[in-house]
Structure formats: C-alpha cells, structure tokens
Structure 1
Amino acid sequence: MTALTSSPTRTPHRTYSRWASLVVLCAGALMTILDGTIVTVAMPAMQTDLGFSGAGLAWVVNAYLIPFGGLLLLAGRLGDLLGRKRMFTAGIAVFTVASVLCGLATSRGLLVAARALQGVGGAMASAVVLGMLVALFPEPREQARAIAVFSAVGAGGATLGTFLGGALTQALSWHWIFLINLPIGVVAWLAAVRVLSPEPGAGIRDGADYPGAALVTGALMLTVYVIVGSGDRGRTATLLQAALALALFVAFAVRQTRTERPLLRPRLFRSRLLTGANAVQILMVATMYGFQFIGALYIQRVLGFGELATGLAFLPAPVVIGVLMMTLSARTVGRFGAYPVLLTGLVLIAGGMALLSRARADGSYATDVLPPMLLLAAGFAAAMPPLTGLAMSGAPEEDAGLASGLFNTTQVVGGSLGLAALSTLAASRTGTLLARGAELVPATAEGYRLAFRVATGIAVAALVLAGAMLRPRNR
C-alpha cells in the first residue's frame, strides 16, 4: 500500500532523470559521430599543412576507423562487466584528450597517432550507449521515442560534420575541427558523472574471456584495415590479410562454443531480429556512406563548390532527418509497426540513390543533388529507428551492452566497406575513361555515377534482406 501511494511522487523525478540522461548520452555520442565526417572537407588543408601524400592522407580517416571498429565489441562487453557508466565516462575522457592532441599536432605522425587514440575513446563511449538507452526506457513507446531522438542526433550529426568541417577550416584552420571537442567533452563528462545513474556490472571475473577478446579485436581491426586500405595494396596482400582476418574470426567462434565464460555468447545469434537487423544495417549504411562521401566529392569536383559551400549544401539532410525522427518516427512505428516503416525507409533510400545515379557532368545542385538528398534523408529517418529497435529487442538485458557494441560494429564495418568499395569503383572508372582520352570533369562524373548505381543495388539488397529476415511471425 505504501509503495502504491508513494509512486506518483517519485515518477516525475525519475522521468526527468531518464530524459536528462538521454541528453547526456546523445551529447557524448554526437562528438564521436561528428568526428567521423568532420575531417572530410578539411583533408586538403591538412595535406597542404603537414605534407601528406595522397595515400598517406587516407590514414587521417583510417587511423580513427580501425581502433574504433575493432574495439566496439570488446568495449561493449567490458561495459556489461565493469559498468556502462564507467565505460562511457572513461571513453569521453580519452576522446577529449585525444582531440586536443589532434588539434595541436604539427606533424603527420602525431596527428595519425592521436586519431588512433580518438578511435579508442570513441569505441569506449559509443559501444555502451544503446545498452544504457534500452535500460533507461524499457517501455516500448517511450523506448521508440528515445531511439528516434538518439538516431536523429546520430544521423544529423554525421551530415552536420561536413558543414562544420568546412566552416571551421575556412574561418579558422583545420586544427579547430578537433579543438572544438575540448569544451564539449568537458561539459559532457561532467554531466555524465552527475546525471547518469551508476550501473554496477557483473564483475570482471564473470565472463571475462581474454584470449577471445584478443582474437575478436584483432580480427575486427584487421577487417577494417583490409577494407579501408584495399585501394593502396596489391590484390595478393589484400587477400592474404582478409584470409588472416577470417582465420581469427573462425578461431574466435570456436573458442566461444568451448569456453565457460564466452565474450560473445552464441545464443545472441539465435535471435533472428538481432542477426537480421545487423545484416541489413551493413548494407544500408554502406549505401548512405556512398552518398555522404561520394556525394561531397561530386559537389566539389564536378559542380565546383568550395569547402563552406559544400558544407551548406548538405545542411538540408540533417534538418529533414532531425524533423522527421523527432516528430513522426516514434508515432509511425507505434501505429504501423517497425517492419513496414523500415521497408518504407529502405524504398526511399533506394529511390534516392537511383535518382543520384543520373547526376550529370553539367548538372546542378538544385536538380541533381537536392531532390535525391531529401529522399535519402527521409528514408534514413524512417529506417534507422525501427532497425535499431529490432536489433536491441533481440538481446536480453544482461547482454545489452554487447548487443549495442555489435550494432555499432556492423555500422562501422558497413560504412568502411561502402566507402572503400564505392570510392575504388569511382576512381577505377574515372581512370579508365581518362586513359581513353576523356576530359577530367566528365570522366570524374561518370565514375561517381557508377558508384551511385552500385549503391542503388546495395540499397535494393538491403530491402530484400529486410523483407525476408525481419518480417513479423504470426503468433
């Protein structure tokens, strides 16, 4: 009787704390998400300042992606064991310190090393966010709203990074794309310590599989390395490294079936929703990264936009994503269900990529870029929240951190795979046409069109896979 009468007085405080915690989680995640794209427009300035070669410049991105993608799964599991708040706050601290080192870098080696440290901090903070979010909002309708807010911040932040990178580089210098993280990181860390509720983990002795952790971390890092660096090495070296990564994955899988305390419990993959959602995400994110990076290159190299103008050209995407996710996503999922909303989003993404594949050498932003950009943004806004909800619904609460790390891992792998494959295709096609005597701009445009056509096929494959694996089963 006492519990029933006292409950209403405690509910407002708990509700406020949960939504305040969501703001903190979004702020922390936003830093790591922005950093994945903010360097894109600033890379030519870094190359001029520090004397990077063309191949060396790619490591400004690769040095971040490899530890980030490789450590997400391990960080997610350690969050379950040590406490997710502890892992999140430690990650924010490491990321902030590494950002300052990046901003102060005066040599190529220091910048690349600091970017790798950023990747470590980013993995620590990002891996546990979805697990904390699901624990904060167990009720389905509120959880859908929270996931929509988080997804809006993530998707909008990725595109906003392009704008901020151009604006800060042009107004100040490329150093400030990293130094801006210092005040944000300090505020986010202080807020996390104060607002987030402590979550005691299961304990490091309960489930710590150190050999398994070494195998899977090495396999993931090598996989991301193979993907992002495939254009810089010969076919033989790439195949050998891919074979070694596969062997490490096999050894890890065998160990997980035999050890008493597996890092990644095989039972997770018995969930059709979790497995299917992660597979769909790889294809969907590969498509969106094609738009994000190849689209920026098309705007700069074919349409002739400058750094700031390119950033401004991408602003409609985060606006559309943010508005749709915040106002419609949770409502549509609640009314129609996650499955049909996800399929609708994937149809819009495929349609947007198909339109983008018609972009011409003498095209314009208003006719060739903006309409498909709006379709892609609307499709991503519709697809990402239900896909996230389906993935996390397939994991038990005690494995929420691990499932969160897995979902973030497939996002990085999908993005890296899409970027490497599509940029290689575009460069190869452009090179072939130039060798035949074509002019630079038409040849470049045709290379990008080929990449967009392949991305359209990837989006269609994601739609087919989602239709097959994520369809609700009749009770």
Structure 2
Amino acid sequence: MSSSTAPSGQSGTATAHRGAILTVILCVQLLSAIDITVMNMALPKIQHSLDVSPTALSWVLNAYTLAYGGFLLLGGRMGDILGSRKALMTGVALFTVASFAGGCAQETWWLLTARVFQGLGAALALPSTMALIVRTFTGQEERTKALGISVMASGIGSTGGLLLGGVLTDLASWRWVLFINVPIGIAVLALTPRLIARAEPQGGRFDGGGALLGTAGMSAVVYGFVHAADEGWSNTVTVGSFVLGFVLLCLLVRVESRHAQPILNLGLFTNRNRAGGFLVFVCSGGAMFGMFFFLTQFVQNVLDMNPIQAGLAFLPMSLGMIVVPRTLTPRLVKRYSPKTSMVTGLIMVAAGMVWLTRISASTGYFSGIMVPMLLAGAGVGLLNSPLAATILADVPPKEAGGASGALQTVGMIGGSIGTAVLVTVFGSAIRSHGGTATKSVLADSIATTCFGGLAFAVVGLLLVLLVIRTKKPGPAQQVTPQAARAA
C-alpha cells in the first residue's frame, strides 16, 4: 500500500510509513536520552551556580526521572485513548517549553520545577514511540531489530548528550544544555504531522487518580532514600517518607484493581515473563543510572577532567550501547535465544561493576575506568532489546500504549531508586571518613557505591535465570497487509 493511499487510521499508516515512523521514534528517544546525560555533565556547574548541596544535587536528575516514571502510565493510556500522534506532540511541546524555562532558572526550585515538567512531557511522548514499534513491527525478529535500533538511539543520545553537555558547559553555560532541546523539539513538532497520520481515538477516560498516587508514592520513597543520605535512616522525616510512600503505593494497587479503565493494568503482571522482565528493568536501571551519576563526579572531581574531556571519557560505554544492539544482539538472539543474550549482558554489566569497586584516587582512566564502562555499555546493548521484546510479546494492540508506558515506567523508577540508594551509600561512606570529601575519600566512597550497582546487576541476573523463559525464535514472520492492519 502506498503512502498516498494509506488510511487515516494508525495501523494502516504504520504499514505505509514504517521507515518514517521509525525515524520519528528515534528523534523523540534521542531527545529524551540526550536530556538525561547532558544534565550529568552540567551538575558541577549547576551546583556552583545555584549553590545546591551535594545530596540535593541528585534531585536535578530525580525531579525529571520521578515525573517521567510517575506519569509514563498516564502517557501510555493517553496514547491509547487519544492516538499516538496527539500524545507524542503534546508531550514534545511541553518538554520543549519546560526546557526553555529551565535554562532561564535563577533559583534551585525554579530549575527543579522545570525538570518536573520536562519529565511530564517526556512521559506523555515516549510511550507512543514504543507503542508504534509494537503496532508497526509484528514479527518477533523484526520487532527485536526495531527495538535494537531504539536501544541504539538511546546509546547515541547518551554519547551526544555527554559530548554536547561537555562542550556547552565548558564553552558557554550549563543553561545551554537545556536550551539545546528547544530547536530539536521544534523540529520534531514540525516533522511529526508530515510523517505520521492522525490516529482514530479509541475512546475512554484517563485515570488521573492512579497517576497521582503512583507519582506521589514513588516520590515519597525516593525522597526517603535521599534524605537518609543527609540525616540517617532513623530520622523522623526519613521514616515518615517511607511509610507514606508504602501507604500510597498500596492505595494505588487497591484503586487500580477496582477501576474500570485503570492507568496500570494489573493483568500485565500475571504473565511470568512480563512480571520478571519488569523487575529486571528496575535492576538494570538502578545499576546504570547510579553508575552514570557517580562516574561523572569521578572523572571531573578526581581525575580533574574538564567537561569536554569528561564527555569524551564516556564514549566507550556509549559505543557499546550503540554498536552491540545493531550487530551482536540480533545474531545471539537468533542463534541461541533471547534469554542467552540477556544473561550474557547482565554478566558483562556485573563484571564492569566489580572492576569499578577497585578504583581509588590513583586510578588512571585507561587502566581503571575505560574497560569497565565498555563492558557495561555492551552489556546493556545485549540486555535491553530482547528484554523489551519479551515483555511486549503477546500484548493486545489496544493495550500496547499502556504496556509500553509500564515498561518505561519501571526502567525510570529503577533509575530513580538506584540513584537514591547509591546516594545513600555514598553519603554513609563519606561520613565514615569524617565527612571531608578529599579526592581520596571521594574515590573510595564512589568505589563503595559500585558494590550497590553490582547488587542490582546480580539480582537482575538471578531474575533472568530463575524467572524468565524464552525459546529460540523460529523463522522471521512475514508482515502481510492483513496482519499489519490487525496490529
């Protein structure tokens, strides 16, 4: 079917414009990935400019990831009800405006508020990209390849974000790491209506209460971890945050089990592979987000790299995330099984973490940092695309947006929790050295936090080994027009 004769419904359009839709998907995912890593490179400058405390600095990242993780479910449901194109464009528009506002920030609260709205915008846009992959690529092998390209886009975004953040922070200002999102967002908004036809809405209503309960509950839990880094585990506010978070999340489960159109379909978790896969994404997100956060501090504050050098230092990790999903992962999945690729990837991530537990103030970049980052990046490249394909397998088309939102939610929540847990470990390690953050103390404390990242990776590996069951894929399915329309 040619593009000129494609029906206005999304499924037919997905068939006619597969390459164009994948292009839009990559652009939106690049925008999101760049924004996460570009902020890592700007953290030291932001801390000095706005006088942010070391532990509160993590909220520059967590404000984004918490809003993103909390509202992804709403974004997925919005895509199902209103159509993927409308949800995507609404999210990108909000993200773009919030980026401009954040670049103008004069106070810490101003920047954190902008980061929250950036997270909300990304949450509205990103589930539609995953849903479009599910609906467009119906064969197992081709879907794995498309998801691999999606993972590759995240790797390119990580590379571009780190390098771009280093260049902009060093030569201009940390504010430009936010301003740079504006022209990218405008370009996406201009191209999307030309490449993706308007989808017919499926109807229904939003579960705003579920979204608010999920966001508030996870925010309370993560705040408890961050507060513990400053005040300890027995502090009244710390304990109160954990209790409040637990109560809100219990209410979320209760509300969703009775809601006619829940934002979180609890039935998604009844499938063994899907439930186990969600937990693995939490673990991998916890390991990798924390690793990014602390290694950024290490290369700049211990190795005395400037922002540009620090951005270049992360190229090995990003190279693994870019190349492996496109080359090695499909071959390993096809010859053996998705589980084999996942296990291999997590072993490589764990090996990288073990290596990093040995760093000290005398550790050089090439001898102690480059190789473990390459291992971890390649490991993520082997893990993510077959894991995502396993989670999204057999999801009904009408649930594609919700399932995609849930998938991305658990990854971002894992990243938030992982960063918070490792910040707690880091704060405790600093206090055990008397609270003076010399280069030696800083390096030893970062090495200690890598044991936490290792624990996340090991738990993820055990989950894959004991819970997830996959088979070697058969011959690639052919996508007929009828099958495409059904998707």
Shift of 1:7: 9.1
Task: Find 1:440's aligned residue among 420, 438, 450.
Answer: 438
3-state SS, counterpart of residue 128 of structure 1: helix
The 1:113/1:215 distance shift into structure 2, 3 A limit, reads closer
User: 1 CA distance for matches of 2:380 and 2:459?
Assistant: 15
2:137 is aligned to 137
1:354–1:453 Cα contact (<8 Å) kept: yes
Which position in structure 2 is the counterpart of 1:431? 431
| Cα pair 2:42 2:166 within 8 Å, conserved | yes
Deviation (angstroms), 1:54: 4.3
**Aligned mates of 1:34, 1:300 — CA distance in 2:** 19
Is the contact between residue 92 and residue 125 of structure 1 (CA under 8 Å) also seen in structure 2?
yes
Residues 136-215 of structure 1 correspond to what in structure 2 (within 5 A)? 136-205=136-205, 208-215=206-213
Q: Deviations over 1:36-91 (max 9, x none)?
A: 22112212322333344445544433332332221111221122112122111100
Structure-2 change in CA distance of 1:425 and 1:8 (3 Å): closer
1:230-254 C-alpha deviation (Å, 9 max, x unpaired)? 4345532222222222222222222
Aligned in 2, Cα 1:261/1:44: closer, same or farther, shift over 3 Å?
closer
1:63 aligns with 2:69: no
CA contact (8 A) 2:230 2:427 kept: no
Contact 2:14 2:135 in 1 (8 A): no
- What secondary structure does 2:369 align onto? helix
Cα distance change, pair 72–225 in 1 and its aligned pair in 2 (3 A): farther
Q: Which amino acid aligns with 2:173?
A: S
> How large is the Cα RMSD of the aligned pairs?
2.6
| Count of aligned pairs | 465
The change in CA–CA distance for 1:84 and 1:223 in structure 2 (over 3 A counts) is farther
The amino acid across from 1:191 in the alignment is L
Cα deviation per residue 1:207-252 (whole Å; 9 max; x = unaligned)? x444444433432443444445543455322222222222222222
Measure the CA separation in 2 of the matches of 1:146 and 1:401.
17
Amino acid at match of 2:333: V
Q: Which moved more, 1:59-68 or 1:48-57?
A: 48-57
Match of 2:478 in 1: none
Aligned-residue offset at 1:356: 1.5
Q: C-alpha displacement at 1:364, in angstroms?
A: 0.6
Aligned to 1:265: 265
The alpha-carbon deviation at position 338 of structure 1 amounts to: 0.8
**Pairwise CA distance, 1:109:** 3.6
Q: Distance in 2 between matches of 1:156 and 1:229?
A: 33
Q: Secondary structure at the match of 1:202?
A: coil
Counterpart CA distance in 2 for 1:232 and 1:266 is 36
Q: Answer yes or no: is the 8 Å Cα contact 1:228–1:416 preserved in 2.
A: no
1:363 aligns with 2:353: no
Report 1:357-436 matches (<5 A): 357-393=357-393, 395-434=395-434
Compare 142-151 and 231-240 and name the one that shifted more: 231-240
CA shift in 2, pair 1:164/1:228, >3 Å: farther
Q: Which residue, out of 447, 450, 471, partners 1:449?
A: 447
Compared CA separation, residues 456 and 201, structure 1 to 2 (3 A): same
Any stretches of 5+ residues in structure 2 without a counterpart? 7-12, 473-487
Identity of aligned residues (%): 32
Check the 8 A contact 1:70/1:224 in 2, yes or no: no
> Could you say which residue in structure 2 is the equivalent of 1:243?
243
| Residues 102-134 of structure 1, C-alpha deviations (whole Å, 9 max, x = no match) | 223334343232222212111111233211211
SS in 1 for 2:79: helix
In 2, are the aligned partners of 1:228 and 1:417 still within 8 Å (CA)?
A: no
Does the 8 Å contact 2:277/2:390 carry over to 1? Answer: yes
Using the alignment, how far apart are the partners of 1:275 and 1:89 within structure 2? 30
Report matched runs for 1:31-180 at 5 Å. 31-54=31-54, 56-180=56-180
SS at match of 2:269: helix
Kindly provide the amino acid, as one letter, of the partner of residue 442 in structure 1: S
Structure 1 residue 458: deviation in Å? 2.1
Contact preservation (8 Å) 1:271, 1:394: no
Q: Which amino acid aligns with 2:460?
A: A
Q: 1:375 to 1:82 in 2, by over 3 A?
A: same
The 1:325–1:14 alpha-carbon spacing in structure 2 relative to 1, beyond 3 Å, is: same
Q: CA deviation at 1:280?
A: 0.6
Q: CA deviation at 1:383?
A: 0.7
8 Å Cα contact 1:69-1:412 kept in structure 2:
yes
The letter of the residue matching 2:220 is: L
CA offsets 1:263-283 (integer angstroms, 9 cap, x no match): 323221111111111101111
| Structure 1 stretch displaced more, 334-343 or 158-167 | 158-167
C-alpha distance in structure 2 between counterparts of 1:369 and 1:272, whole Å: 37
Note the 1:341-352 alignment, pairs <5 A: 341-352=341-352
Report the CA distance shift for 1:8/1:61 in structure 2 as closer, same or farther (over 3 A): closer
Residues in 2 aligned to 1:8 and 1:97: alpha-carbon distance in whole angstroms = 32
CA distance 1:14–1:187, change in 2 (3 Å): same
Q: Secondary structure at the match of 2:260?
A: coil
CA distance in 2, matches of 1:55, 1:284: 22
Q: Does 1:471 align with 2:469?
A: yes
Distance 2:129 2:188 in 1: 14
Cα distance in 1 for partners of 2:352, 2:446 equals 15
CA contact (8 A) 1:212 1:256 kept: yes
The answer to whether the 8 Å contact 2:317/2:375 transfers is no
- Following TM superposition, the consecutive aligned residue runs of length 4 or more in structure 1 with deviations greater than 6 angstroms are 6-11, 13-16
Equivalent residue, structure 1, for 2:481? none
Structure 1: distance between partners of 2:89 and 2:413: 24
1:34–1:161 Cα contact (<8 Å) kept: yes
Cα–Cα, structure 1 residues 115 and 210, in superposed 2: closer, same or farther, change >3 Å?
closer
2:84–2:128 CA contact under 8 A, matched in 1: yes
> Quick one: distance in 2 between partners of 1:286 and 1:217?
18
Q: 1:58 to 1:449 in 2, by over 3 A?
A: closer
Query: For residue 440 of structure 2, what is the amino acid of its counterpart?
Result: P
